[in-house]
Chain A
């Protein structure tokens, strides 16, 4: 059984079937890519996974526990972190302060706040945040307002914020969109590294096939709200159905 099991999920928006009978099984420690044309329901699926949307029917199990009916912050505490399609960061705060928030939220591996230690000692948290920024190559920007960052930097900051909490499952919604080629390659390396060294399972939505084929162990193609095929990357590349539904469009 996979670490994430999605079974028979349906979601309608009025007359639009955004998700139709979605089944998905993500193996632990793998990188699972979800690709599909615009409006296929990829982001909607992530919304269901993190508790932003409640599906009409179906079940979502993470590590053997259902996530449905839990608040987003509880699902995050279970170990699911998400990077959004449009970066969700704290625009009014500095880059360092942005990084401090997840570090304070999950301190010493736990989400419980200890009132006394959080008043008395903060040095360790600040050090952790600074270290994380160095790892993301953003140390020189730590006193900038996050709103002033480039789109690519915002997304890297968001990825760093998610990683600082050491999630078990990282959901990425088009993480390299708006990034320069060099940053895209850095991000690919970073994601490879966190997947291999920290054993973080990754579900990635991506339009950039270079990114998909560099990272993915397994690919699901979503079209009009339903999985078209799920297979290994080399088979997806040659699959005529996929070429027609998705890759063909790009050519």
Chain B
């Protein structure tokens, strides 16, 4: 279908079903139950899942295929967000022009940064991208204050000279982002017995963009261009002695992945029209590296899984504080309760980074292929078990 083989089509359909049904899937616990805090089906978080999924898919086109590890991709995310907010301020609250500008600006910056950084490979390339990203962060944070509004971050005001649209609404508030009048923030709530499911316009727009981005990445992976990129990763020397100048290929991959990051940044700003320098910080660049490796670098679906996994941790685990823990272990004798709370506490709440770090180490050491490899191993194990059941059982009968 659509020029894809059967496996890829299945995968795309799977992602489509997961994203479209996410408000149900991520809200398995009734609203009043004690487990409700593990629900992730609220608009804000679901938007983050898919937007960072897009970011990671793009990053994987560079890192997963060519092996060039960029430590500065958050710069493009930030550029995308700033561009979008400026578009809202100056042109219109419609998200389409904002997102288009985000992608274009990120592409231009990626072209320049990529052109210079790709003169080196390996660790030197990584350091160069990191340096550029830190430079962008510092520019945004201080030097370019007139454009970025420095520490405070760029926001909409009541006096924005919006060409196509009003500076303020009739009741004197700031207009909201929309898609031809369809407001991003509008949410429809469906109450089903003890459950409440939320369907948000912004989320569904982001999810559709994710599907398009995912489809494009499948096509890139399977194209001759994708083959060339994998060949670059495998053996640059042989590429050179095969009459191929690898630079245009790697640069194209860099620009494409930068544009994906810009798209993600533009979407972030479309959901919530503000942009701050912290979005470009090196920790943000590192996060997308973690997402991609955790999920499975070089696999199609891995980055999406990794992004969801990390964002879930960041938002859900970090909310488990001491009181919540006491609630969980309250039924136990006091001494045991305190002991358990003390043991678990460092790994949740503000300590969620530690849990994530440990998980990351475990994955890299035991599952170099990331969550995708984990899934494959479980599937293979299940298959073996099933096959084992069908064979005669006489040999495993215990001797009497």
Contacts and interface: CB of A to CB of B under 8 A. Distances in A.
Q: Do A and B bind each other?
A: yes
Interface of A: 50, 71-73, 76-77, 81-82, 88-93, 97, 100-102, 104-106, 111, 118-119, 122, 125, 161, 165
Contacts of A119: 223-224
Contacts of A97: 227, 230-231
Given A101-B228, A104-B228, A81 B241 contact: yes
Contacts of A111: 243
Nearest to A97: B227
Given A73-B240, A73-B244, A101-B242, A92 B233 contact: yes
B234 interface: yes
B242 A105 contact: yes
Contacts of A122: 224
A102 B228 CA distance: 10
Contact of A92 (B223, B230, B237, B241): B230
Given A97-B227, A104-B224, A89 B235 contact: yes
Interface in B193-224: 223-224
Contact of A82 (B231, B241, B245): B241
A161 B235 contact: no
A235 to B, nearest CB: 34
Interface residues of B, number: 19
A87 to B, nearest CB: 9
B242 A102 contact: yes
Contacts of B237: 88
A76 B223 contact: no
Main secondary structure of the interface of B (DSSP, over half): helix
Contacts of B235: 88-91
B224 A50 contact: no
Contact of B245 (A71, A104, A106, A118): A71
A71 B230 contact: no
A77 B244 CA distance: 8
Nearest to A167: B243
A228 B124 CA distance: 44
Contact of B239 (A81, A91, A101, A165): A101
A251 to B, nearest CB: 36
B377 interface: no
Contact of B244 (A50, A82, A100, A105): A105
Given A73-B241, A76-B240, 20 more contacts: A71-B240, A71-B245, A72-B241, A73-B239, A73-B245, A76-B242, A88-B237, A89-B235, A91-B234, A92-B230, A97-B231, A100-B224, A101-B227, A101-B231, A101-B238, A104-B224, A105-B243, A119-B223, A122-B224, A165-B243
B298 to A, nearest CB: 9
Contacts of A77: 243
A118 B242 contact: no
27 contacts: A50-B241, A73-B240, A73-B243, A73-B244, A76-B241, A77-B243, A82-B241, A88-B235, A88-B237, A88-B241, A90-B230, A91-B234, A92-B234, A93-B227, A93-B234, A97-B227, A101-B228, A101-B231, A101-B239, A101-B244, A102-B242, A102-B243, A106-B243, A111-B243, A119-B223, A125-B224, A165-B243
A145 to B, nearest CB: 10
Contact of A161 (B224, B225, B240, B242): B242
A111 B225 CA distance: 15
A163 B76 CA distance: 43
A104 B229 CA distance: 13
B230 A165 contact: no
A88 B234 contact: no
A157 to B, nearest CB: 11
A166 B206 CA distance: 49
Given A77-B243, A165-B243, A93 B238 contact: no
B159 to A, nearest CB: 46
A73 B238 CA distance: 10
Nearest to A81: B241
Contacts of A50: 241
